[in-house]
Amino acid sequence: MPETVIGTRTKLELMSKTHGAIRVPLAQSFDYTPKYTERTIFEFDRSDAILIVSVFDGVDVKFDYFDTDSHLVDSVFNDLSPAATVTKNDPSTLKHFNGMLNIRSESTGKIFQSVYMKEARVKGFAATEPVREESKITVDASALNVIRLKGAAIMYVRMLDFDPDPAVFLQGASNSEVDLNFPDVPGPYVITLPHTAVAIDPAGSLSLRVLKNGNEVTTGFTLTTTTFTVPTEPADTDIWELWAAYIDS
């Protein structure tokens, strides 16, 4: 049975490797189904099984949105600029992307639940062009994992050098988030987080994931509830990305 997220106060954002975050326009639903391979083990002289082995095989993801003249979703699938005049959606060159949802309560307006989608890749997108209704696109993807947080929101923080290389894409009006820059002062180099991070597990983990230039890292930085710090000056081509939980208040 898939987990289905449908809500009038739900914000679905996708993040490409080099072009930051965009909000999916007119998103209609989002559902995900964990996949498992199960193997039943028997032994001689027993009619019932003695063991069932389950192996986690990732997550199937699907979301729907109404088609418009927006280029945003197509730009993520191919890791292209969301501000481009023309976007080429080529199924042979699809790239991995990440995503998150923040879901608000209708009564309080506060985010009470959130979902993080890790390293998804589109495996099909069906477009419907009805005669009298809105055109709708259904996207099917496979993700390494999908993590749901009850009681917390998710923030996405994209961090760049104080003076980024001209080749580094800067998030702009077409993006749904803004870049933060490390200060131009002697190290350590500290970014103040836009929200206060909270632990997401009994071990006290403050991050869902940290990427440096598209690669997952667990060292080379220090994360507290309010700051993200690197000990040495970032290269002008470095792109740091953080997903962390916070309480919407």
Instruction: Say whether domain 3-153 belongs to CATH 2.40.30.
Output: yes
pTM beyond 0.75: the answer is yes
Out of 12-16, 22-26, 43-47, 156-160, which region has the weakest mean confidence (pLDDT)?
A: 43-47
Residues in Cβ contact with 48 at an 8 Å cutoff, skipping those fewer than 6 apart: none
Q: What is the mean pLDDT of residues 144-152?
A: 94
Which pLDDT score is estimated for 2? Answer: 61
How large is the greatest C-alpha to C-alpha distance in the chain, in angstroms?
73
Rounded to the nearest integer, the mean pLDDT of the chain is 90
- The residue ranges of every structural domain in the chain are 3-153, 154-246
Contact criterion met (CB below 8 Å) for 89 and 67: no
Interval 72-102: pLDDT, tens: 988 999 999 999 889 888 888 889 999 999 9
Q: What is the mean pLDDT of residues 212-235?
A: 96
Residue 1: pLDDT band by 50, 70, 90 thresholds?
Answer: low
Is pLDDT of 40 > 90?
A: no
Which pLDDT score is estimated for 7? Answer: 59
Is pLDDT of 6 > 60?
A: no
Q: Using alpha carbons only, what angle is made at residue 162 by residues 161 and 167, rounded to the nearest 5 degrees?
A: 55
Interval 175-205: pLDDT, tens: 999 999 999 988 799 999 999 999 999 999 9
Give percent of the chain with pLDDT exceeding 90: 63
Residue that wins the pLDDT comparison between 52 and 246: 246
Q: Using alpha carbons only, what angle is made at residue 216 by residues 215 and 218, rounded to the nearest 5 degrees?
A: 135
